[in-house]
Structure 1
Amino acid sequence: MKKPSNQARYMAGMVVDATGSGMYLPLSLLYFHHVTGLPITQIGVILTSAAVVGLVSNPVAGVLIDRFGARTVVVGGYLLRAAGFCAYPFVDGGLVMFLVVLPVTLGDMSFPPAIQSFVAEIVHGTDRDKLLAAQRSLRNAGLGVGGLLAGAALALDSDSAYYLIVVLVAVGYVTAAALIRTIPTDRGAPPAGGRVSRRGGYRLVARNRPFLSLTLLNVPTAFGYMVLSVSLPVYLTQELDASNSLVGVLYAVNTVGIALLQIPVTRHLTAYRRTRAMALGTVVFAFSFCFFAVLGAFPSGTLVLVGVFAATLAFTVGELLHGATASALVAHAAPEETRGRHLAVYQLSWAVPTALAPAVLTALLSVSAVGMWLLLAAGVTGSALGVLRLERRLPEAAVRTRPKAAEETVPVEEGGPVEERRPVES
């Protein structure tokens, strides 16, 4: 029997991971409220506190990736989270909850830089873009399946259903770790004596101004990504008088759209510069935010409902253009010797906005809903312009995919000189 390919095993691991996450994410607050009886607000504070403390795992993960390799950190993070979930059934109070949630949070925070580094170690060139696109697509599908499984389990309305879910999530993480562990990497040899990995690594990141600029430019975009889960539900129900059920439908539109279209869209985008695909994606985000802002001027009705779906579709298109392309650009822009540290720093541009978004976006909504949308649109537009200006300062391999077929040499004419055929600039 033929052994599954490295990429097939990788994608199987991502599907198992995402399915488990999809089972738990929708009921994280409900689970602890059910098993401890603590108020939802107190549980929220505990989870946020663990997330803030968990931010320290980003720089630590960067050091570990450069020292031991991304695969080791990915597998270790999975096992750490599995151990935490195995302890969930024993939570009986606030302090125990914090101590149990913390290792799960540390594993969650270390995952993005580790998995991006791991992808960079197992595939190269346009294959990296395609694998990241497939990952986004299948992870969205896995999250959806996990949510359905969680709903079916909770329909039983018993304590056993809650415990079954967390145990299955733990089993999923162990399974994903086992799959990733079997994938060989072609990680480059470390610098002589390992000095770059052990000393001065983050000083090298600090001196890499183009990469730091790319990181800072991602902050407004990261806030933009959060509107679907933070701003839109409040805006729809309180400003547009829409039903609560519409929130779930729009989330499904986005999730299914990414699952079905990310791979073909990214395959098409490999013919263009990554920076320009990213910039186009953020401009489409800006368009969707302006569309949402305009809807507030109309009375609720069919026109607003159609407009909400159109704006959500535009947001999904922006995510299709930006998401996988941005991940590939950053992975290529990070120097191999300190890739873990570079990606850990970049991940802060996602982690910090994710932590702050609930407070910041709801505060802006309370002041002016239209103002919030227009501010977000201005922010992502500034990011697009900044990325375009930064293009010349980034490594050429990061900006251009340079398909292999386009770099082959062909004879100009029989008996004549051989001319290199270069890709047409996009």
Structure 2
Amino acid sequence: MSGSRTRYLVGMAVDATGAGLYLPLSLLYFHHVTGMPIAQVGVVMTAGALFALVGNPIAGTLVDRLGARSVVVGGYVLRAVGFAAYPLVDSATTMFLAVALVAVGDGSFPPSIQALVAEIAEGTARDKLLAAQRSMRNAGLGLGGLAAGGALTIGSDAAYTGIVLATGVAYLAAAVIIGTIPLPARGRRGRAAIKGGYREVFANKPFLALALVNVPIAFGYMVLAVALPVYITQQLHAATGLVGALYAVNTIGIAVLQIPVTRMLVRYRRTRATALGALVIGASFVLFALLGAVSSATAVLLVGSFVATALFTAGELMHGATASALVSSAAPVETRGRHLSVYQFSWAIPTALAPAVLTALLSASAIGMWLVLAAGVVGSAAAMVRLEPRLPADAVRPKAVVTAAVPRPVETVMGEPVVGGPVAVETIVSARSVSVR
């Protein structure tokens, strides 16, 4: 792996470790330092978090004008400043301002980081880098969460403040690491201002369809955090500890298996791999529904829950990195930032609506919720296959960069031919005709 990609992965690991530190106490921190009720803290945090939707389109434009690396670094700095302000929060107003600042940085991250990956990796190397990123980020989130759990057992003001400041330092460290990544020529070229703004994106109907197809899958991704804990504990009446175990299966599974699974999938069309992943996720939802319909036996529920979660994880392994590579490859280079920004709304909107939508479905019918989600992701899989002919060929069928040996040109010395040794050159070949290992 090139030095740029190695440095990139180190930055992602540092970023994720910092995020993992803070995630377990996001609500608890402000409740602890301000004394506000949890419900009020939640409302203020949600209001501030909406600014992520503002940061997203701004980031898309800046990526096209300044380059992805600059926007990634700027987003990290914004978040670091926001976390540095957290210990100064003493009211709902100051809390809102600090959370909004961090949210703008959060919103700038998805389109800019996907664009950066597209600049430093091409072909199947892009799929593999995104797979390694997902693996590293899951590991980093887990490590950060463990460290936060240890600090929270102390329960003091100093422990809470230390976690928040450590998160800010991690973002600054990630900014330094990402900021020193050397870019290839294609990532350093001058960027002319592109007229038309987001009209260029909305005129790209196949890309918009790709974003719409993702919406049901994005809702499906949210079940682990939003619906599954309630379903397991209140509908299936299982022990609360089972939720943590199922979450661990998913997190560890992605950290360990994402790279080998993606290495296998780069031989195939990205559209087919993502569609298959959606189908497997749909199968996991059907199994979760069956658990609520056919049995209340503890052993059946226990085994069935782990099998369903394993299926969900397998679907996520097939879909996640490959879908990201498909989208970044389908976006035109000149307006890649804006295209990826629009696509990110297919994640951001379901993420914002999921708590309300999924809990409403769960309240109406727990089994019905799973079947609705299953129908949605299966429909997305079918739509993805139908969309395939309208997408750029090099986005659908990844290419592999391989090293080939070719002879040097024949030179002459004193009239006698001299043949040099082999020279390594990079050749782009179809991933269907080469074994990628």
Asked if Structure 1 and Structure 2 have the same fold, meaning a TM-score greater than 0.5 normalized by the shorter chain, the answer is: yes
What percentage of aligned pairs have identical amino acids? 62
Question: Which residue pairs with 2:145 in the alignment?
Answer: 147
Alignment of 1:315-326 (within 5 A): 315-326=312-323
Q: Give the AA of the match of 1:181.
A: G
Alignment of 1:165-176 (within 5 A): 165-176=163-174
Question: Which residue pairs with 1:416 in the alignment?
Answer: none
Does residue 1:122 correspond to 2:120, yes or no? yes
Alignment of 1:190-339 (within 5 A): 190=190, 194-196=192-194, 199-297=195-293, 298-339=295-336
String of CA shifts for 1:263-311, please: whole Å, max 9, x gaps: 0000010100000000000000000000000000211411111000000
d(CA) in 2 for partners of 1:70, 1:421: 27
Q: Give the AA of the match of 2:357.
A: V
String of CA shifts for 1:287-341, please: whole Å, max 9, x gaps: 0000000000211411111000000000000000000000000010000000000
Does residue 1:365 correspond to 2:365, yes or no? no
d(CA) in 2 for partners of 1:408, 1:395: 30
d(CA) in 2 for partners of 1:26, 1:77: 22
Q: Is the CA contact (8 Å cut-off) linking 2:218 and 2:351 kept in structure 1?
A: yes
Question: Which residue pairs with 2:388 in the alignment?
Answer: 391
Q: Give the AA of the match of 2:220.
A: G
Q: 1:311 to 1:116 in 2, by over 3 A?
A: same
d(CA) in 1 for partners of 2:183, 2:432: 32
d(CA) in 2 for partners of 1:422, 1:27: 47
Match of 2:399, SS state, is coil
Alpha-carbon offset, residue 422 of structure 1: 5.7
Q: Give the AA of the match of 1:49.
A: A
Match of 1:403, SS state, is strand
d(CA) in 1 for partners of 2:235, 2:95: 36
String of CA shifts for 1:61-81, please: whole Å, max 9, x gaps: 100100100001000000000
Alpha-carbon offset, residue 195 of structure 1: 3.7
Q: Give the AA of the match of 2:287.
A: F
Question: Which residue pairs with 1:346 in the alignment?
Answer: 343
Question: Which residue pairs with 1:49 in the alignment?
Answer: 47
Alpha-carbon offset, residue 424 of structure 1: 4.2
Q: 1:215 to 1:177 in 2, by over 3 A?
A: same
Alpha-carbon offset, residue 189 of structure 1: 3.4
Q: 1:89 to 1:405 in 2, by over 3 A?
A: closer
Match of 1:14, SS state, is helix
Alignment of 1:395-406 (within 5 A): 395-404=392-401
d(CA) in 1 for partners of 2:52, 2:106: 8
Q: Whose Rg is larger? A: 2
Alpha-carbon offset, residue 203 of structure 1: 0.7
Match of 1:22, SS state, is helix
d(CA) in 1 for partners of 2:239, 2:175: 40
Match of 1:177, SS state, is helix
Match of 1:55, SS state, is helix
Question: Which residue pairs with 1:189 in the alignment?
Answer: 189
Question: Which residue pairs with 1:413 in the alignment?
Answer: none
Q: Is the CA contact (8 Å cut-off) linking 1:57 and 1:106 kept in structure 2?
A: yes
d(CA) in 2 for partners of 1:122, 1:169: 26
d(CA) in 1 for partners of 2:340, 2:280: 25
Match of 1:201, SS state, is coil
Question: Which residue pairs with 2:417 in the alignment?
Answer: none
d(CA) in 1 for partners of 2:43, 2:397: 44
d(CA) in 2 for partners of 1:201, 1:391: 26
Q: Is the CA contact (8 Å cut-off) linking 2:328 and 2:340 kept in structure 1?
A: yes
Q: 1:43 to 1:330 in 2, by over 3 A?
A: same
Report the more deviating stretch, 74-83 or 180-189.
180-189
Alpha-carbon offset, residue 421 of structure 1: 8.4
Alpha-carbon offset, residue 51 of structure 1: 1.9
Q: Is the CA contact (8 Å cut-off) linking 1:51 and 1:355 kept in structure 2?
A: no
376, 380, 402: which one aligns with 2:377: 380
Alpha-carbon offset, residue 408 of structure 1: 11
Alpha-carbon offset, residue 212 of structure 1: 0.2
Alpha-carbon offset, residue 403 of structure 1: 2.5
String of CA shifts for 1:216-275, please: whole Å, max 9, x gaps: 000000000000000000000100001111111111110000000000000010100000
Question: Which residue pairs with 1:74 in the alignment?
Answer: 72
RMSD between aligned residues: 1.8
Q: Is the CA contact (8 Å cut-off) linking 1:406 and 1:421 kept in structure 2?
A: no
Alpha-carbon offset, residue 342 of structure 1: 0.2
Q: Is the CA contact (8 Å cut-off) linking 1:75 and 1:177 kept in structure 2?
A: yes
Structure 1 residue runs of 5 or longer lacking an equivalent are: 410-419
Alpha-carbon offset, residue 402 of structure 1: 2.7
Paired residues in the alignment total 409
Q: TM-score if structure 1 supplies the norm length?
A: 0.93
Q: Is the CA contact (8 Å cut-off) linking 2:398 and 2:430 kept in structure 1?
A: no
Q: Give the AA of the match of 2:278.
A: T
Q: 1:231 to 1:407 in 2, by over 3 A?
A: farther
d(CA) in 2 for partners of 1:300, 1:306: 10
Alpha-carbon offset, residue 343 of structure 1: 0.2
d(CA) in 1 for partners of 2:32, 2:288: 36
Q: Give the AA of the match of 1:264.
A: P
Alpha-carbon offset, residue 188 of structure 1: 6.0
Q: 1:207 to 1:306 in 2, by over 3 A?
A: same
d(CA) in 2 for partners of 1:157, 1:69: 42
Q: 1:422 to 1:90 in 2, by over 3 A?
A: closer
Q: Which has the higher strand share?
A: 2
